[in-house]
Amino acid sequence: MEYFQIYIYLIALLLAVIVGLTFPTFTSNLEPLISICIAILMFSMFSQIPFLNLRNNLLNLKFMFALILSNFLFIPLLVFGIIHAFNISSSAILIGLCLVLLTPCIDYVIVFTALGKGNAHYLLISTPILFILQMLFLPIYLTIFLNKDMITMIEVTPFIHSFVTFIIIPVIIAILLQLLSTKSTAMQRALNFTSWLPELFMAFVLFTIVASQIDKITNDIYVVITVIPIYISFMIIAPIIGYFTGKLFRLEAPLIRTIAFSSSTRNALVVLPLALALPDTVVTIATTVIITQTLIELMGEIIYIKLIPKLIK
């Protein structure tokens, strides 16, 4: 499943588009499943982090500083520049862009990092830190990037709900499972079984999101046309920023590749529930902006896993 996961994701996306456009009434009911699938995905990924043995799996501090600097200083500066360069004035589009481009990915980026010969283990251990930081910094970024009227459209409650649902609860369950696995053969088997879940639920997440939202995207095709050049520009520049950040800290090639992947892969799947909680006046367009980013990004990741290992040696 790990070897063929990219093809699994592409098939899931293709099926989602076909089913979503053919049965829009049915697929609109899939929306409540998005959060459930993301929570299970996060639990399965946290289960692979050796929480009980973290003393022997300490992060490289230079790597961690570089990862944080790239994702929370350099990339926001890039996003600020791109938004102004493309002169985005629509509130709904701007909110969608900020939500998706200012938050580093904490799920399938690990998969692509592994395929791109980066250090997926370091990135996996970093996921709780990245999520906590983006939840702390995102309100600050939104205050800087958006005007007061736009900020009032965004509720705080979904941020807290996402943090609890996608981080706190999955981490607690994963740690409990690891503790129980040391005392029970059945729990050890259950823990081993979780290693099969990330690819499977990644496909479920992509399917439920795209199938439930694709009908909205086709109704707002002008939004798609507006944001695609922005996403392509981001995907070209962001890995370069990650590369130079890694070089700045004189990291080894696998760690520089890891920062390049993290810097250029965004958190569309986790911020989508935040977008769905927006007022009716902007929710459809903001959602379209985020879903479009996922589709463009997945195509870009296929290019990344071929080019990044060749270019970063």
Domain ranges within the chain, ordered by starting residue: 5-16+33-49+59-311
pLDDT recorded at residue 137: 92
Question: From 1.20.1250.20, 1.10.3720.10, 1.20.1530.20, 3.30.70.260, which CATH number describes the 5-16+33-49+59-311 domain?
Answer: 1.20.1530.20
Which residue is listed with tokens 């799920």? 107
Q: In degrees rounded to 5, what are phi and psi of residue 236?
A: -80, -45
CA 309 – CA 311 distance, rounded (Å)? 6
pLDDT recorded at residue 99: 92
pLDDT recorded at residue 57: 61
Which residue is listed with tokens 């996306």? 13
pLDDT recorded at residue 54: 66
CA 94 – CA 141 distance, rounded (Å)? 12
Degrees, nearest 5: CA angle 307-112-51:
140
pLDDT tens per residue across all 313 residues of the chain: 777 777 888 899 889 989 999 998 888 888 888 888 888 988 998 898 777 876 666 678 999 999 999 999 999 999 999 999 999 988 899 999 999 999 999 877 888 898 899 998 899 888 888 988 988 898 899 888 888 777 777 777 777 787 788 878 998 999 999 999 999 999 999 999 998 898 899 899 889 988 987 887 787 888 999 999 999 999 999 999 999 999 999 999 999 999 999 999 998 877 877 787 788 778 889 988 998 998 899 889 889 999 999 999 8
